Chain A
């Protein structure tokens, strides 16, 4: 299995631009999570989906952030417009209630976002 795939790995953009981060979960996993990691706040959950449906988006910082999961194998996190304080590493993780490693979240390599 290829694991959780995220793209791009690095993104540098200017303030005000739209940024789209992408995630492909592990095949067969029905939960998908978006986290953000910063030095100041550590790892924090932004939103998570179950069977492509958003379950809890209370961690999304503001309306500039949106996330979608149009199908079981793809999710996007969009920031529009981006601001310097959005600079962070964004992780996607997936998990399943079935199988050998049920309950375990597997993380992608992350997208390092820098907003100038």
Chain B
């Protein structure tokens, strides 16, 4: 069975500084990895995904994520944080095939001006 761990409940970063939100996963076979963002009282918005190919994946709003197979990690990054990036971020994984996503517990990102 697949699982996702987001080790940090909360990440605080100053505006303009780089940010990293951590995610590790466990899955049988090749992973399909996703990042979603949730703003208050809103649904989850898709940010980016890794299926195959380059280990560095670029997504929406300047976010990117690096797939590391040996460390089974898929950390979300952004070079320069904005206050508007403050939200709840979810990492998710699934195995091959259009099976349901398994989500991490979420990490709340707070960008301070």
Contact = CB atoms under 8 A, between A and B. Distances in A.
Interface of A: 4, 31, 33, 42-43, 45, 48, 50, 56, 91, 93, 95-97, 101, 103-110, 112
A33 B90 CA distance: 17
Given A33-B101, A107-B45, 6 more contacts: A43-B106, A91-B44, A96-B98, A104-B49, A107-B46, A110-B43
Interface string B18-48: 0000000000000010101000011111100
Contacts, number: 47
A47 B81 CA distance: 36
8 contacts: A31-B98, A50-B98, A104-B34, A105-B101, A107-B36, A107-B45, A109-B42, A112-B41
B105 interface: yes
Contact of A109 (B43, B51, B103): B43
B100 interface: yes
A107 B44 contact: yes
A95 B92 CA distance: 15
